[in-house]
A and B are shown apart, each in its own frame.
Chain A
Amino acid sequence: NAGVMQNPRHLVRRRGQEARLRCSPMKGHSHVYWYRQLPEEGLKFMVYLQKENIIDESGMPKERFSAEFPKEGPSILRIQQVVRGDSAAYFCASSPRGDSQSPLHFGNGTRLTVT
């Protein structure tokens, strides 16, 4: 049973370009979460999605950032017009249910570097 798959592992973008981060949840998991991690800030929640629906995007900046989880295919976190401050590790996690009794399973992350 493959775990949560994220790609690419590393992504380098110039300022102003778009970054697309992909996440395929574990088999049987329909709940996907995106987190951002910076060394001094820990894991910060960005967005929570179920298939075709955004449930909670309260942690995601309103501009330039968007997320989707289509019926078919991986979840995508899109960052438009990237800036240096977007450089971070972005982790995706999935769970079979959306309650806090259901542990999250994380992918290996995408490390975004904006030059």
Chain B
Amino acid sequence: EDKVVQSPLSLVVHEGDTVTLNCSYEVTNFRSLLWYKQEKKAPTFLFMLTSSGIEKKSGRLSSILDKKELSSILNITATQTGDSAIYLCAGGSNAGNNRKLIWGLGTSLAVNP
């Protein structure tokens, strides 16, 4: 059965710390790995990764995919209280439809001032 596992489940850090969130996947006909940030409402899109070893970066956030290890990491440097959220990872297959996204349970990140 396809699955996506995220770790840790929750994390508490201080402002300024750097964090690494992990996502491992077992997805048949894997095609893409997506990261979303969910605060109190809508998950918002962060990154889509399809190629191994190519880092995607947006400000203090970056992510990379390792197809050999079937995993991805999301790094956040110089964390701020506004980074507090649940970070969701989803694996997509090449079955051709978004319905084939398999979601992890998320990592709950709390950044304390």
Contact = CB atoms under 8 A, between A and B. Distances in A.
Nearest to B103: A43
Contacts of A104: 45, 98, 101
6 contacts: A98-B96, A98-B97, A100-B32, A100-B98, A101-B48, A102-B98
B93 interface: yes
B101 A45 contact: yes
Contact of B100 (A4, A44, A91, A100): A100
B68 to A, nearest CB: 21
Interface size class of chain A, counting residues whose CB lies under 8 Å from the partner chain: 20 to 34
Interface stretch (A12-20, A80-88, A105-113): A105-113
Interface in A66-103: 91, 93, 95, 98-103
Contacts of A43: 43, 88, 90, 103
B9 to A, nearest CB: 11
Interface residues of B, number: 27
Contacts of A109: 41-42
A108 B97 contact: no
A92 B108 CA distance: 22
A4 B42 contact: yes
Given A56-B97, A56-B99, A101-B92, 14 more contacts: A3-B42, A33-B98, A40-B105, A42-B103, A42-B105, A43-B88, A43-B90, A48-B99, A58-B99, A98-B97, A99-B98, A100-B94, A101-B48, A106-B43
Most buried by B among A45, A100, A105: A100
A31 to B, nearest CB: 7
B98 A106 contact: no
A100 B90 CA distance: 10
B73 interface: no
A44 B100 CA distance: 11
A69 to B, nearest CB: 14
